[in-house]
Amino acid sequence: MAKEMNDLLLTENEDVAIAWGDFVVGESTARHQQQLLMNNKGDYKENTTVGVGVFRYIDDEDFRGLIRAVQQEYTRDGMETAVVRLDTNGTIECNANYR
């Protein structure tokens, strides 16, 4: 069964969301997945081995390395990864939820 991951929510500009003078907390699995994809290893100073760095794969003809990196990072973050694939437009489709 998928576990709901609650965390501080961010705005579209990556700022902490604030409402009525307080931080906004809510379901954040999609945001965690996005951050893991976008950030390179070394971007998080607390754990320098976290991150996929999806932009490093832009010119790769073989996308299997990207798929493998996404699965590894999601699993490492505590998600159960059912599906990770690229569609014909190059969009990453994934079905991963926290255990």
Range of the domain at 57: 29-98
Q: How confident is the model at residue 88 (pLDDT cuts 50, 70, 90)?
A: confident
| 75 assigned to some structural domain | yes
Burial class (CB in 10 A: 0-12, 13-18, 19+), 10: middle
| 7 assigned to some structural domain | no
8: CB partners within 8 A, 6+ apart: 16, 17, 23, 24, 25, 28
| 82 assigned to some structural domain | yes
| 69 assigned to some structural domain | yes
Per-residue model confidence as pLDDT tens digits over 41-79: 999 899 999 999 999 988 888 888 999 999 999 999 999
Number of domains in the chain: 1
Average pLDDT value for residue range 78-98: 88
Q: What is the 3-state secondary structure (H, E, C) of 51-83?
A: CCCHHHHCCCCCCHHHHHHHHHHHHHCCEEEEE
pTM of the predicted structure, to 2 decimals: 0.84
